[in-house]
Chain A
């Protein structure tokens, strides 16, 4: 028997050596292999890949070209404060900053104190608040763009009129245009990132000069322009002057205005000079918009137009928004240095402060957790209390008190931007959640009247668009409350958003209630729990745990839905764009950039929130315990 087993012709005996290993076919590995499996696995796939690649390439190239070359992001960088906090009084921005620091601190403690879900939620919160605290505080320090106009050789330059207040600092500088300047790639002279809205004569002169110099038709080294620029007040008294030669720019003239009134910049050529060009640059001057009635308002405030310098109105030109020049060039590096560096410089300090605050908080939380458990419990309770107290505190901190010195009341009508969006979202979340749970329990309950009333509310609210609810909150609610209680519009919108979200949350909670098996409730009853107790101790914990992901996506959609209050006339993050773009002439037509930026903010926040909710769903934290 054993002999048979070892006969080789009857049985296969594995060779002692493994077969020589072979490389996989070259076409299935490496980049080629990857391409073949992922992009060109079949004929259809190859066609799809090619068509999509061409389309995608075209879209990307044109979008990038637009974003880097044609887009004028000044509408965003110059208006960041408006975008973030709206017209909230700039001198009281520290309240927003302080509040944000408190939130960051609490967030920091909570992150290291509590469990995973809370942790990721709070991290989201920290990101959002960092955005809110840093950008407005930082951008409030950004200097406004300067005003420039070209002095051509052949035409007289009209006196430039502007209004100034006492203590305002005005700087005037003359920059002669030389061959080198026209050809060099210096930011000032390469061509400005200018407002397209204003029709600027000096820009066309400048382009013309540059073309002529480059073509060799104009040699600016031959010019002998000598300019004297005087700052004159309304009575004709010269407050200061600066002169320039063809080669050297004059000393910058800095004047602190003594009184409010009209001032004039007089530009005069030296009698001997014949030709040459120069830029005159004004800093610290308030410009005119071309809105109706603005001149009349100025005359009322600063007195009549000065007749000593300009006998008739046609002799002078008022410094208008179209004279503003954003320095910079179409080349990317210059663009970055001129546009972005000052901005990042401005936000670095608040950014570090915010990070430090969160860091200190999380260090404290970490320490508290490592102390004995009693201390950890106390700290934990304190933090919970702080979070609960935060809502009323922040409301009063932002709103202030009537007649207070340090905290004067700031009308909610001036709130705007991301601040208003976040306030609306936070309030609606905080109030709609308990209301939604109550509505769901009401609908679920066996008490006919309660169930019917809750159902009607839920179904009616869910059946109509949010904008109808906001319409209701804006125009119908005032009829239903007593005339003496005048609720301001922000609060009315909060009510509308809360009622709307509560109905949706009620349906989500109902889904959660349905997954709790009836046996659990019966078991509770068998243990002698009252129906209130069994709801509180058995049903709700399981139901709420199961619906965390759905709740999160509802809150994301609430966050996005706050944009609708802009239709009803509030200046939240989306509504403020109309104010910025259409309210200021120099930003006309730049709504694309603004919408993209705002869209990006919405995207960052809601994408983080929905990623967290997906993560919660996948890790099963939200699943009911079985």
Chain B
């Protein structure tokens, strides 16, 4: 008797005292859907196989049938739902027999019934849409053809990694040596490779923007709470202006109003210190070109990095155990710089400089040599960074404000300086709170990178649009785009969730 009452926390039904007296309550009244969709794998598989069979068999059975489309749709959804409905009905009747509650008053039945109706409606809509799709495709002479990605891609792309290694984006991150605007136009041979090039470009701009956004956002976020009146107000104005105007307007302004308004001929380009030039065509800067001895530096720098991380962790542990100051970053920097220098010395001893610096040379119409970033890339990078960092700044501000004031006072009482308090006490706690909303902003940044199409940046969305113009395969391309962006979102969420779970305090 008591079993039946206990299990009713989520299943509500009306019980009479007569029921209680008669002890007629079922032990576990379960929904038919719970059986089919919930815990029984076998029945789930059976139901799915059945649905699949109906969907597959439908066209062969009903092609050329005289029945009106509406009736076909109703039939289709009913046939799919029939076994479900049968199970639901049997279940309801069983319940009625066991509980003596009329089945139409039973919550379990009502829910099952609503779900069946919902399913029928959804199937009906899906059937109608699929039918319309088929008719429209037949009328326009198109087929949904995912083979479009193997098709020849007849257009030149203005930037991206070289077509021979389209997906090798690690070598093409814009840190060193991607000569983009000066490279000859790319002509990927297939749409697949073109999409790869576009994806690479998306990743190039997103990766750099993510880093820049984080740094700028933290700086401005700290500035929002600064004791310095000027810094505080400048930060506030920055955040309000960039948050309250659409990113597309900012992007257009940066691209059309600032970068494209610069003179495009090299002699008139704006020169920044260190042989960096900005013209209407892009940003030109010296390239580091590795020579034969570069491997020494690379290998030793990597060693230094590993050593540095090890040292850092060791110092932190030492600090936790003994209370001695950690100086982790100093040790890390020392290890990296030391090893890097050693690599340089070794390289020079073994036969000359490890890197050549190639300075961009002015030509009449373009720069030669050096590295470059296209105007579109620079504009999109700036747009994404400025827009998103305003949001990040506000998140950081909220995080800092959420740190209890006692922490700050305790830190001051311990004699920590303002800088130490910020970096050791406040930011670690604030960022911990800020990670989930930051994840959202990173996702937004990734998705907003698709706005590059408005200024002609060759990203994956742009390539898809070009392909659409060539082939008209809107449905297939839309599916591909969706998969790409969903995958990107998923990856970023996964990474940030991992980071988040590492960062959160382990509460026992």
Query: What is A's interface to B at a CB cutoff of 8 Å?
Result: 38-39, 41-42, 44-45, 48-49, 52-53, 56, 446-450, 452-453, 460, 462-468, 471-472, 475-476, 478-483, 525, 531, 556, 560-561, 563-564, 566-567, 574, 577, 589, 591-592, 595-596, 598-599, 602-603, 606-607, 610
User: A468 to B450, Cβ gap below 8 A?
Assistant: yes
Q: Across the two chains, which residue of chain A brings its CB closest to B454?
A: A567
B129 within 8 A of A: yes
Cβ of A480 and Cβ of B129 under 8 Å apart?
yes
B38 within 8 A of A: yes
Q: Which residues of B contact A598 (CB under 8 A)?
A: 249
Q: Looking at the complex, which one of B118, B461, B474, B490 makes contact with A479 (CB distance below 8 Å)?
A: B474
Q: How far is the CB of A59 from chain B (nearest CB, A)?
A: 10
B228 touching A48, Cβ below 8 Å: yes
A contact patch SS: helix
Q: Which residues of the other chain, A, contact B451 by a CB distance below 8 angstroms?
A: 465, 467, 564, 567
CA distance A226 to B485 in the complex (A): 73
Nearest CB of A to B288, in Å: 30
- Within the assembled complex, what's the spacing in Å between the Cα atoms of A616 and B69? 52
B261 proximity list for chain A (CB < 8 A):
589, 592
At the interface with chain A, which of B151-159, B236-244, B271-279, B302-310? B236-244
Report the minimal beta-carbon distance from A550 to chain B, rounded to whole angstroms.
Answer: 12
Best-buried of A49, A448, A596 by chain B (most CB within 10 Å): A448
Question: Would A450 and B118 count as touching, CB distance under 8 A?
Answer: yes
Are A45 and B482 neighbours in the complex by a CB distance under 8 Å? no
Q: Are A464 and B485 in contact (CB under 8 A)?
A: yes
Contact present for A563 and B244 (CB under 8 Å): no
CA distance A563 to B247 in the complex (A): 9
Interface check B136, CB cutoff 8 A: yes
Closest to B69 in A: A482
Contact A599 B250 (CB under 8 A): yes
B residues near A (Cβ < 8 Å) are 10, 12, 33-34, 37-38, 107, 111, 114-115, 118-119, 122, 129, 132-133, 135-137, 139, 226-231, 234, 240-241, 243-250, 252-253, 256-258, 261, 418, 447-448, 450-451, 453-454, 461, 465, 468, 474-475, 478, 481-482, 485-486, 489-490
- Does A479 contact B245, Cβ atoms closer than 8 Å? no
| Partner among A475, A561, A567 whose Cβ is within 8 Å of the Cβ of B468 | A475
For A449, the chain B residues whose CB sits under 8 A away are 33, 37, 115, 118-119
Cross-chain contact A468 with B485 (CB below 8 angstroms): yes
Asked if A595 and B252 make an inter-chain contact with CB atoms under 8 angstroms apart, the answer reads: yes
CB contacts (< 8 Å) of B37 on chain A: these are 448-449, 452
Chain A residue, CB-CB nearest to B111? A447
Nearest B residue to A483 via CB reads B136
Q: Which of A449, A466, A472, A564 has the most CB of B within 10 A?
A: A449
Q: Which residue of B lies closest to A553 (CB)?
A: B243
Residues of B within 8 A of A471 (CB): 461, 465, 474, 478, 481
Are B132 and A480 in contact (CB-based, < 8 A)? yes
Give A448 to B247 CA distance when docked, in angstroms.
Answer: 39
**Neighbouring A residues of B247 by C-beta, 8 Å:** 560
Chain B residue contacts of A602, Cβ below 8 A: 244-246, 249
Which residues in B have their C-beta under 8 angstroms from that of A39?
228-230
Q: Is there contact, CB below 8 Å, between B256 and A591? A: yes
A448 to B261, CA, bound (A): 57
Contact A482 B228 (CB under 8 A): no
Q: Closest chain A residue to B144 by CB distance?
A: A479
A463 with B489: CB separation less than 8 A: yes
The complex places the Cα of A607 from the Cα of B244 at a distance, in Å, of 6
Q: What's the least CB distance linking B270 to chain A, in Å?
A: 14
Contact of B482 among A452, A464, A483 (CB under 8 A): A464
Chain B: minimal CB distance from A41 (Å): 6
Residue of A nearest to B465 (CB): A471
Q: State in angstroms the CA–CA spacing of A466 and B482 once bound together.
A: 11
Cβ contacts A to B, 26 pairs, < 8 Å: A38-B229, A38-B230, A39-B229, A49-B228, A447-B33, A447-B114, A449-B33, A452-B37, A453-B118, A463-B485, A464-B485, A465-B485, A467-B450, A467-B451, A471-B474, A479-B474, A480-B136, A482-B132, A560-B247, A561-B246, A574-B252, A592-B258, A596-B253, A596-B257, A603-B244, A606-B243
By the criterion CB–CB under 8 Å, are A48 and B231 in contact? yes
- Cβ A447 vs Cβ B475 within 8 A: no
Q: Are A464 and B132 in contact (CB under 8 A)?
A: no
How many residue pairs link A and B with beta carbons under 8 A? The number is: 170
**Given A479-B475, A592-B261: A468 in contact with B481 (beta carbons within 8 A):** yes
Option from B249, B253, B450, B465 in Cβ contact (under 8 Å) with A465? B450
Q: A41, B249: Cβ atoms under 8 Å?
A: no
* A residues less than 8 Å from B448 (CB atoms): 465
**Smallest distance from the beta carbon of A52 to chain B beta carbons, Å?**
5
Do A563 and B249 touch across chains, with their CB atoms under 8 A apart? yes
Chain B residue numbers with a CB within 8 Å of A476 are: 474-475, 478
A566-B248 CB under 8 A given contacts A39-B228, A472-B478: yes
Q: From A56, A448, A465, A589, give the contact of B447 (CB < 8 A).
A: A465
Q: Complex Cα distance A53/B114, Å?
A: 66
Contact in complex: A560, B246 (CB < 8 Å)? yes
Q: Please name 18 further chain A to chain B contacts, defined as beta carbons within 8 Å, in addition to the given A463-B490, A467-B453, A479-B475, sorted by A numbering.
A: A45-B227, A448-B34, A450-B114, A450-B115, A453-B118, A462-B489, A464-B481, A465-B448, A467-B451, A471-B465, A476-B475, A482-B135, A483-B132, A483-B139, A525-B12, A566-B454, A589-B261, A592-B261
| A38 in complex: contacting residue of B10, B228, B243, B245, CB < 8 Å | B228
Q: Which residues of A contact B461 (CB under 8 A)?
A: 465, 467-468, 471
For B227, list chain A residues within 8 Å (CB).
38, 41, 45
Inside 8 A of B226's CB, which chain A residues have their CB?
48
Structural contact, B111 and A574, CB atoms closer than 8 A: no
Q: How far is the CA of A465 from the CA of B10 in the complex (A)?
A: 38
Given A56-B234, A448-B115, check contact A606 B245 (CB 8 Å): yes
How far is it, in angstroms, between the C-alpha of A577 and the C-alpha of B133 when the chains are bound?
36
Q: Which residues of B contact A560 (CB under 8 A)?
A: 244-247
Q: How far is the CB of A445 from chain B (nearest CB, A)?
A: 8
Q: Is the CB of A592 within 8 A of B249?
A: no
Query: How many Å from the CB of A617 to the closest CB on chain B?
Result: 12
Shortest Cβ-Cβ A-B pairs, 6 listed: A38-B229, A592-B257, A465-B447, A475-B474, A560-B246, A563-B248
Residues of A within 8 A of B489 (CB): 462-464
Give the residue name and chain of the B residue nearest to A46 (CB): B228
Give the shortest distance, in Å, between B249 (CB) and chain A (any CB).
Answer: 5
Name the A residues within 8 Å of B453 (CB-CB): 467, 567
Report chain B residues within 8 Å CB of A52. 230-231, 234
**A residues within 8 A CB of B252?**
574, 577, 591, 595
User: Which residues of chain B are near A447, meaning CB under 8 Å?
Assistant: 33, 111, 114-115, 118
Contacts of A56 in B (CB 8 A): 230, 234
Q: Which residue of B lies closest to A40 (CB)?
A: B228
Q: Indicate if the CB atoms of A446 and B249 lie closer than 8 Å.
A: no
Closest residue of B by beta carbon distance from A592: B257
Distance in Å: Cβ of B445 to nearest Cβ of chain A:
11
Q: Give the docked Cα–Cα distance between A607 and B239 (Å).
A: 11
Instruction: Please name the residue on chain B nearest to A593 by beta carbon.
Output: B257
Q: What's the Cα separation between A574 and B12 when bound, in Å? A: 54
User: Residues of A contacting B12 with CB < 8 Å?
Assistant: 525, 531
Known contacts A38-B228, A595-B257; decide if A463 and B248 are in contact (CB<8 Å): no
A448 touching B481 by the CB < 8 A rule? no
**Most A Cβ at <10 Å: residue of B137, B246, B486, B490:** B246
Please name the residue on chain A nearest to B237 by beta carbon.
A56
Q: Which of B33, B129, B229, B253 contacts A599 (CB 8 A)?
A: B253
How far, in Å, is A196 (CB) from chain B's closest CB? Answer: 12
Given contacts A475-B474, A563-B249, contact A460 B486 (CB under 8 A): yes
Q: Which residues of A contact B253 (CB under 8 A)?
A: 592, 595-596, 599
In the complex, chain A residues whose CB is within 8 Å of the CB of B114: 447, 450
* Known interface pairs A449-B33, A476-B474, A563-B249; A481-B229 also in contact (CB < 8 Å): no
Among B243, B252, B475: residue with most chain A CB under 10 A:
B252
- In the complex, A525→B451 CA distance in Å? 49
Nearest CB in chain B: distance from A197 CB, A: 14
